[in-house]
Amino acid sequence: MRKPIIAGNWKMNKTAEETKALIKDLIPLVSDTDNVDVIVCPPFVNLATAAEALAGSNIKLGAQNMHFEKSGAFTGEVSADMLLAFGVKYVILGHSERRQYFGETDEGVNKKVKVALQAGLVPIVCVGETLEEREAGITSEIVCKQTKLAMLGISAEEAKGVVLAYEPIWAIGTGKTATADDANDTIGAIRNAVKEVFGEDTAQSVRIQYGGSMKPGNASELMAKSEIDGGLIGGAALKAEDFSQIVKF
Ligand code: 13P
């Protein structure tokens, strides 16, 4: 059985004070959910505040990105070691907004995945198709290629520790959700891509989230699907009540 994993991607939202307040509200609402991995991913500058506010709770800390180099002249970037020093356990890699607005490539995502695994961080690797790609009928092809390239050169054992997130780009922040059946089919295709590279055992172990306008009203339907192991939540992660309802799907 794969343990469900619900992560909040706060994106570029919340000041330090707001971070503290949201976490304070969230902790009691999800304190009895040991059967689900619960993660919040605030912006870098609020990781210290978040780590302090999360101390002693069952919520784990994640980051939204990192660089693949250990240190050096990379203005504006943050390394795996820096994240670990804050108690960060998870790191979102290759989010479509990073790919779209900041030029991230499959090759760069792969480098980050390898470094994260070596450092002991759990990568949450995002894949997803554009509306144009969906309409052209090449969704599976696109997401399977992204998956294989992100995981290129890692071992089957390492692959088991990767979390994948299927986020159709057209469903992010739009209120449009993939139907539960569609999301399940595409996630099944992603799992099959993992199987082709790493074998059945790894494919059955790896957890794959759905992301894109997931909210209290659709979480239980999505989570009931056999292939969907969790959610990567944007907008609805910014409200303690909404996020906690998703965690309790
Ligand atoms: P929304 O839940 O706001 O659609 O965002 C999804 C997302 O991009 C999470 O990483």
Catalytic site includes residue 221: no
180 part of a folded domain: yes
Whether residue 214 has its Cβ less than 6 Å from ligand 1:
yes
Evaluate whether residue 49 is within a structural domain.
Answer: no
> Is 246 a member of any domain?
no
- Closest ligand 1 atom, CA of 213? 4
**What Rg value do the Cα atoms of the chain yield, rounded?**
17
Domain that holds residue 136: 65-235
167 catalytic residue (yes or no):
yes
Per residue of the chain (249 residues), give pLDDT as tens: 899 999 999 999 999 999 999 999 999 999 999 999 999 999 999 999 999 999 999 999 999 999 999 999 999 999 999 999 999 999 999 999 999 999 999 999 999 999 999 999 999 999 999 999 999 999 999 999 999 999 999 999 999 999 999 999 999 988 888 899 999 999 999 999 999 999 999 999 999 999 999 999 999 999 999 999 999 999 999 999 999 999 999
Structurally, the chain folds into a number of domains equal to 1
The domain that holds 69 is classified in CATH as 3.20.20.70
